[in-house]
Amino acid sequence: MVFKEIQRREKEGRPLRSLVLAGHSMGGMELGYMLPLLEELFKQNKMEVKIDAALFLQSVGQYEQSLTGMIPRSGEVGTLKGEMYQVFPSEWDIAQAEEQLQGMSEKEDVGALLQKRRQIEMMRSKHQNPQFLTAELR
């Protein structure tokens, strides 16, 4: 998303030459993975963008985990967790659902299998095209 925005500005004649990135919590975790990729993309596309600083604010661990796995299980929080899982599925959430589908194959009825497959398709779609991003920021 950051790279596409920089490319868009470049094409519009409003190039960005200096960049400061910040990531909080899970965003800090993602920032650690994103920095070397951005630098390589700038180099490959011959863009003169310099990352002046990267701010990591209360970053979570540098390992794959589900966003919903970080939320405690209790009352109203459990409902929030379910809603987040539906709106922001991670690759980890998708992998878990696929494992559940494999375990179901011979034990469940056809309706349950179709429902699980549809759930996985929806999760993949939402993971690739998050609802909170506008078309302009994609």
* Cα→Cα distances 21→31, 38, 50, 61, Å: 8, 11, 11, 18
Residue 137 confidence (pLDDT): 43
pTM: 0.41
Residue 30 confidence (pLDDT): 83
Numbers of helices and strands, H then E, in the chain: 5, 2
Convert the pLDDT of each residue in 58-103 to its tens digit.
777 655 555 555 555 444 445 556 666 667 777 888 888 888 888 8
pLDDT at 6 over 70: yes
CA-angle at 107, arms to 101 and 109, nearest 5°: 85
pLDDT at 110 over 70: yes
The answer to whether residues 54 and 21 touch, using CB atoms and an 8 Å cutoff, is: yes
* Cα→Cα distances 18→48, 57, 116, Å: 9, 20, 46
How much is the mean pLDDT over the chain? Answer: 76
Tokens of 95: 């992998």
Task: List the beta bridge partners of residue 51.
Answer: 19
pLDDT at 25 over 50: yes
Roughly what angle, to the nearest 10 degrees, separates helices 2-11 and 26-44?
A: 40
Of 114 and 70, the one with more pLDDT: 114
Q: In whole angstroms, what is the distance from residue 61 CA to residue 56 CA?
A: 12
pLDDT at 4 over 70: yes
Residue 44 confidence (pLDDT): 92
Tokens of 94: 């998708």
Task: List the beta bridge partners of residue 19.
Answer: 51
Q: Which of 38-47, 74-83, 98-107, 128-137 is modeled with the greatest confidence?
A: 38-47
